[in-house]
Amino acid sequence: METVISLAKVTAELGGRPVLRGVDLTVRTGEAVALLGANGSGKSTAVRAAVGQVPVTGGEAALFGSPVRRFRDWARVGYVPQRSTAAGGVPATIREVVTAGRLGRRRLRPLGRADRAAVDRAIGLVGLADRASDSVDALSGGQHQRVLIARALAGEPDVLIMDEPLAGVDLDSQQVLARTLRAQLERGVSVLLVLHELGPLQPLIDRAVVLADGRVQRTVEHPGRLPETQTACHPPTDPEPSARPTLQTGIL
């Protein structure tokens, strides 16, 4: 199985402070990996290092076997950053924003029928087909999030990297995302998600990696197959495990 995303002993600093302190993370073809951890533990920085948006001060970040600093095949990567909006101050419809996600695949050709079909498919997958001609300015926060997910899907990438895709998204939309990701995984797409809780995505996750203070605190293989007590995020010696949050339900 090809290694799609690899962080090997990655360190990174922001504002002069160490934020990643030797993070190891591997996502292989067709795997879904969740990055969990408390606020400020370094999850977003880790995924931003994986896509070359944060410089790595030690160790190595690689995509599809190439060091990120030399990686050029960005059409293979669909990235949904945290808490961004699809509206850049310029009025645009949902279809226009999602079409932008197709540009990397298109190269210098004009948009063809296959491109338009991929855009419509992506909009349909996130349940916004009836709103495709609406301005993104008129959308709620959760609907914005869905547009950004559709934009990433439209490029038919080989890996989807999503930073908190469930944030501000209602339960129905979370289920839509779970179904969408399942279909992508079945096609062999790899998925890396930053999450606060696994929620409806739990059955899809092959590996949950918990960060604490810029380090990997623990890794749980197939968290969906474990009873909740075994995925609890507390040391085994903790006298009151039931009072602590778990991977399944807790805010980590």
Contact residues: ligand ATP, CB under 6 A: 14-15, 19, 37, 39-45
43 vs 146 by CB, closer to ligand ATP: 43
Rounded to a whole number of angstroms, the minimum distance from the CB of residue 154 to ligand ATP is 25
55 vs 188 by CB, closer to ligand ATP: 55
**77-80 vs 66-67, strand pairing mode:** unpaired
83 vs 225 by CB, closer to ligand ATP: 83
Q: Which tokens hold the place of 246?
A: 């778990």
Rounded to a whole number of angstroms, the minimum distance from the CB of residue 48 to ligand ATP is 7
Strand (E) positions, 38-189? Answer: 58-63, 66-67, 77-80, 159-163
- Least Cα distance to 210 among 223, 201, 199 occurs for 223
Q: Which residue is nearest to ligand ATP (CB)?
A: 15
Rounded to a whole number of angstroms, the minimum distance from the CB of residue 138 to ligand ATP is 27
Question: What sign does the dihedral 18-198-6-180 (CA atoms) show?
Answer: negative
44 vs 145 by CB, closer to ligand ATP: 44
Rounded to a whole number of angstroms, the minimum distance from the CB of residue 250 to ligand ATP is 13
Specify whether the CB–CB gap between 11 and 58 falls below 8 A: yes
